[in-house]
Amino acid sequence: MPAALPAHDAVIGDYEVLGEIARGGMGVVYRARDRRSGLLVALKMMLTDGDQADARRFVLEARAMGELTHPGVVTIHHWSEHNGHPFYTMDFVPGVPLNKLLEEGPLPPERAVRYLLGIGRAVAAAHALGIVHRDLKPRNLFLARGDGLEMVKLLDFGVAKTEAAERITRTGALLGSPAFMSPEQIIGDRSIDHRTDLWSLGVVVYRALTGRTRSAATCRPS
C-alpha cells in the first residue's frame, strides 16, 4: 500500500514540495522546486491506491502529454514514483482555471472566441497524434498569464483515448465528465473519435457564453 501523501516542505525525489495547487478524483498537484536547477514546477501525484489499471492510466497520461509539443499543452519534464505513488512534473504556469473565471459570470463573445481558438489549436494537435482528450471542460482549461499575455493551456489527459489506454479500458466504462460528454461517450461507445472532443468543446463554449451547460428548454421539468 502506498505511504501517505507528502506534506508541505516534503521532498519527492529531486523536488521540494512548496504547497498544494489542486486536488481531483485521481491526483493531487503540488507547486514544487527542482532542488538541482531551482526551477519551479507543477508536480502531479496519484492520489489514491487505486488498482493497476489506474496506475497504468496515470503513466499514460504523462506519456500522452509528453508526446505533444504545442504552446497550448503544458510541457512534461519527468515522471517517476515516490513511496508507491506515481508522479510526474510539468511546467508551473501562473494563472487560473477557466471554471474559476466563469464563477464571475459569462464571458464577452470576443473573449470566448479567443479562448475557443486557442483550445481548438491544442486539441487539433492532440488529434493529429491520435489522442482524444475525452474530458474537455472548464476545469481542465487553464488561463496562463505572463509578460502581459494570456494563453489557454489544455490540462489533464488522465482519461485520454490512445492506443495504449484502450487496452486497459473496460467495455462500457464511463470516462469523462457527464455534463460535457458527447452522447456516444455517455453510452460507453469505445469507437469514439475526435468528434467527441468537438462536442465537449461546444458545450464549454456554450457554458462560457451563457453560464449554463445546457439550454433552458432541456432544463425544464417535463
* Amino acid identity at 143: L
Axis crossing angle, helix 109-128 with helix 195-210, rounded to the nearest 10: 160
CB distance 34 to 91 below 8 Å:
no
C-alpha distances in Å from residue 78, one per residue of 19, 38, 123: 19, 15, 22
113: CB partners within 8 A, 6+ apart: none
**CA neighbours closer than 13 Å in the CB half-sphere of residue 172:** 0
First vs last C-alpha separation in the chain: 48
Residue type at 201? Answer: L
Catalytic residues: 135
